[in-house]
Structure 1
């Protein structure tokens, strides 16, 4: 037996199809798994969020990381305290560097994988100070509210910051 899907659910996945899925009273979606090229995934993620779908219900995987934007609110000459594997390191962060770049430049074996804000491998908690993330495709809003950031995307917005990878 061949399965036939309703005509309005056939075709390329795009924002219009997602909106049709959300409007269909016969379809109930608990979790969204968005995987594909960064432009498609980010468009769908933004569209779902604008339709009231919480980020906790979205799982994202990008085929390739999104391009980096220019850092905003960068504070030059920042001091970063990095807690990793029970040890604390204090390093200087050059203007324009991310927290992760500064750690790696100073031979701190901080975890990372994609460098594009998509995988979540570099996740750490900010315990003092503040940072601004360029982009975030891996953390949900509850994690961000709890102080977690993606260090590969984080630029200090205060002169001193403490980052805890052990949290």
Structure 2
């Protein structure tokens, strides 16, 4: 089960006018707990006026190799979100020596290093997990290659510019970088403008043999990820080779699961198994199953509560639920019986979830 620990801030590096990288020191006793796969994320927690705030940030530092000690440090990138309580705090207040509440790593947007050709299409802060994926892959799989197509507004707004340039210097024959700016012309490279389905469908085959790519990693805003997936499916790329992680979904974005019109029972209960212990509780009207569990078990795992991060994934043992949104689970996961507890509402009078599977 994911757990929170207090970690000190070892460094705060300004990346752009609206983003920073936070480096967290991991003491020896906790390094195994914070061992992570490339592409996983951390949830950071703080309490303001009695209200708990959690936000999820991807680890951008490379993953430790098997058989070695866990990470001595963890690095995450934080971009300012308009009205964002945690991102504003990170950019304006967090300093070296501060202590943060940090959940142990989670997430399935990952790549185990192996020989082959891999590629990513990212936008904005979507570079953070892919930076860890690409760095770990290139360092640990000498026969692997990686192509990164990244979209940013301007050069000045590009996060981890130096880190990506360092990858190109270290692995000139195995790392291919293509940068597209939507609001600024470049002296070299593709013309400026938004990366949509039509443009990607023409650009990607010109860059690399798309059918030979073992894994595609799409990360960033909902619109970009959706357009990139459509372009790849139009190029006959099997869906099993396409991996997605969405960083931001507008409130008006369509739900991608069952209809929200499904009637809920007047009285329902949820039975949940969590960290080896179970309990049964009544579900309040309009309450998600996660909120029901949290009222009785504060250790229930969650981060975004928006159907994006997947931290609250649970196995549906019995009963039926309706999910409002799902931007985190793959079709294979939902077919196997997994749901997002933060988006699930009971359709039957009794529902049983297992957070331990």
TM-score bracket for the superposition, by shorter chain length: 0.7 to 0.9
Which structure carries more relative contact order (alpha carbon 8 Å, separation 6+)? 1
Greater strand percent: which structure? 2
Provide structure 1 residue ranges, at least 5 long, that are not aligned to the other structure: none
Residue 144 and residue 17 in structure 1: after superposition, are their counterparts in 2 closer, same or farther (change >3 A)?
same
* Residues 132 and 155, structure 1, Cα contact 8 Å, conserved in 2: yes
Give distance in 1, aligned partners of 2:239 and 2:274: 28
Could you list the per-position Cα deviations for residues 77-105 of structure 1 after superposition, in whole angstroms to 9, with x for gaps in the alignment?
22110010111111111222211111112
**What are the equivalent positions in structure 2 for 1:2-151 lying under 5 Å apart?**
11=192, 12-20=194-202, 27-28=209-210, 29-45=213-229, 47=230, 51=234, 53-67=237-251, 71-76=260-265, 77-151=267-341
Residue 121 and residue 160 in structure 1: after superposition, are their counterparts in 2 closer, same or farther (change >3 A)?
same
> Deviation of residue 59 (structure 1)?
2.5
Which has more radius of gyration? 2
SS in 1 for 2:199: helix
> Deviation of residue 123 (structure 1)?
0.7
Could you list the per-position Cα deviations for residues 30-86 of structure 1 after superposition, in whole angstroms to 9, with x for gaps in the alignment?
3332222233334444x2586365543333233334427694314142211001011
Please report the RMSD computed on the Cα atoms of aligned residues, expressed in angstroms: 3.1
> Deviation of residue 111 (structure 1)?
0.4
TM-score for both structures, normalised by structure 2: 0.40
Provide structure 2 residue ranges, at least 5 long, that are not aligned to the other structure: 1-175, 179-189
Residue 4 and residue 166 in structure 1: after superposition, are their counterparts in 2 closer, same or farther (change >3 A)?
closer
SS in 2 for 1:142: helix
SS in 1 for 2:214: coil
Give distance in 1, aligned partners of 2:240 and 2:248: 22
* Residues 33 and 59, structure 1, Cα contact 8 Å, conserved in 2: yes
TM-score for both structures, normalised by structure 1: 0.78
Number of equivalences: 163
Give distance in 1, aligned partners of 2:177 and 2:291: 50
